Amino acid sequence: MKNFSLHLAMRYLRGTRHEKSVATMVKISFFSIALSTMCLALVAIIMRGFEKETFKTIQGCHAPLCMQSYGNQLAFESIEKVLKNEFPHVYYSPSDIQYGMLEDRNGTLSHLVAVKGVDPLLEAQTTTLEKKILPHNNRTVSMTTALENRSILIGYQLARMLNLHVGQPLTIYYVPEQQSSKQTLSLAKASVLVGGIFKTGIEEFDANLILCSLTTLQSLFSESGISSLSITPHSDSINLEQLQHQLAQRFELPIHSWKDRYPALIAALKLETYASFIILCIIVLIASMSILSLLFMQITQKRGNIAILKTMGASTAMIKKIFIYMGLTIAFFGACVGLFFAFIIALLLHSYIRIELPDAYFVTQLPIALEPSIFVLVFSLVMIISCIATWLPTRSISDIKSADVLRFEA
């Protein structure tokens, strides 16, 4: 028979229903594999969701690449010509940052903020800040509308601290450029309107940043120019590291990626993902020990059958396959059931059950990443671990001597 080993393995599994102890072991093995697989898949789905949503939040506030000239202004017109001719596959947005102070409710200058001047149309192409602007009067507010006529965008936390709403005036105190080298400074002030409120979920943005147009910034700081250039590729298929290297070589200026701004956070997320995954793989390994115990029990009980098969001409490898098929069948169906329930739970969490998270995270709800690669990876790991667990007990089959078993045990 071509599939003799598989056929006999299925017969042995069906026969366990008549042996209570063995049937219990089969159920324990099946449910332990299913449960550990479900937990491993859910943790992988959630951790991947955290990683993607955190990166998306940060990447939305910062462009993927940023060109800066510390202490100097960029020759934007010359750089723009090169970008148009040699890098037509990227968007770019010029900006500059100055600093000012705001009054609190008691009239005290207590809020030092960064005032970032941007081109509204170009900025909307390089970052997702425009999507972070809160609706006003149930209408979506564009960045161009929010920054017109000396209006500004302020962060959600800053608006709460100052009790500001869209359309209200705000006074910014700043140091005029001509006084920056003097020992005694007098502050100038300018009145602007709150054109919109954005909420990124990142504290450093929502509490310490004001956005205005480059024209407004240059009217306050006469010597203000363009100190940085945000760069975003047209397509996600473009290799970001390669593009960063090409830009750095072409312009001989520092080019930083968004990951360079948060190295500790990115390293912590990766470490947490790997650590959680490894710990749960160990749990799967422990669960697979039940299969190992079951096969040892089966091999011990079937010593007589094994001896008879050997005397009938069955090879040791063929007999080993019988028990390997038994263990892998339990692992296969257990893994499939575990992945099925993991998918159902993840789907419920993604679509119906919303779990709110505290402000300490970069996301407001428990993130779910339903990626096919996660299920393939988890299934492969479970089957590899189970395969090792099924192979180990079959080594004892080689030590079974047919003559001794038939003489003393048959």
- Provide DSSP, 193-234: EEEEEE--S-HHHHTTEEEEEHHHHHHHSTT----EEEEEES
Answer yes or no: are the C-beta atoms of 338 and 42 closer than 8 Å.
Answer: no
pLDDT of residue 336: 93
Lowest mean pLDDT among 41-55, 213-227, 305-319, 369-383: 305-319
Residues 392-408, mean pLDDT to the nearest whole number: 72
Q: Give residue 181's pLDDT band: very low, low, confident or very high (50, 70, 90).
A: low
187 in the same domain as 148: yes
Regarding pTM above 0.75, the answer is: no
179 in the same domain as 159: yes
Residues 253-269, mean pLDDT to the nearest whole number: 80
pLDDT of residue 376: 92
Q: Taken in order 36, 40, 45, 49, is the CA torsion positive or negative?
A: positive
Tens of pLDDT along 88-104? 899 999 998 888 888 77
162 within a domain of the structure (yes/no): yes
- Which of 253, 286, 311 marks a domain boundary? 253
338 within a domain of the structure (yes/no): yes
24 within a domain of the structure (yes/no): yes
13 within a domain of the structure (yes/no): yes
d(CA 337, CA 350): 20
Residue 24 belongs to what H/E stretch?
A: helix 20-61
Residues 145-168, mean pLDDT to the nearest whole number: 88
- Which of 201, 222, 253 marks a domain boundary? 253
Query: Which structure tokens are listed for 252?
Result: 């001989």
112 in the same domain as 237: yes
45 in the same domain as 168: no
Bridge partners, residue 213, by sequence: 118
142 within a domain of the structure (yes/no): yes
* Inter-CA distances, 224 with 115, 215, 218, 220, 368, Å: 11, 10, 5, 8, 44
- Which of 205, 221, 253 marks a domain boundary? 253
203 within a domain of the structure (yes/no): yes
d(CA 248, CA 285): 47
Residues 335-342, mean pLDDT to the nearest whole number: 93
374 in the same domain as 275: yes
pLDDT of residue 397: 78
d(CA 20, CA 241): 60
Q: How far is CA 361 from its chain centroid? A: 13
Q: Give residue 341's pLDDT band: very low, low, confident or very high (50, 70, 90).
A: very high
Which residue type is seen at 318? M
- Domain hosting residue 323, numbered range: 4-58+265-408
Residue 286 predicted with pLDDT over 90: no
Mapped onto helix, strand or coil, the DSSP state of residue 169 is strand
249 in the same domain as 283: no
Q: Taken in order 189, 192, 197, 200, is the CA torsion positive or negative?
A: negative
273 in the same domain as 210: no
Q: Looking at the 3D structure of the chain, how many domains does it have?
A: 2
63 within a domain of the structure (yes/no): no
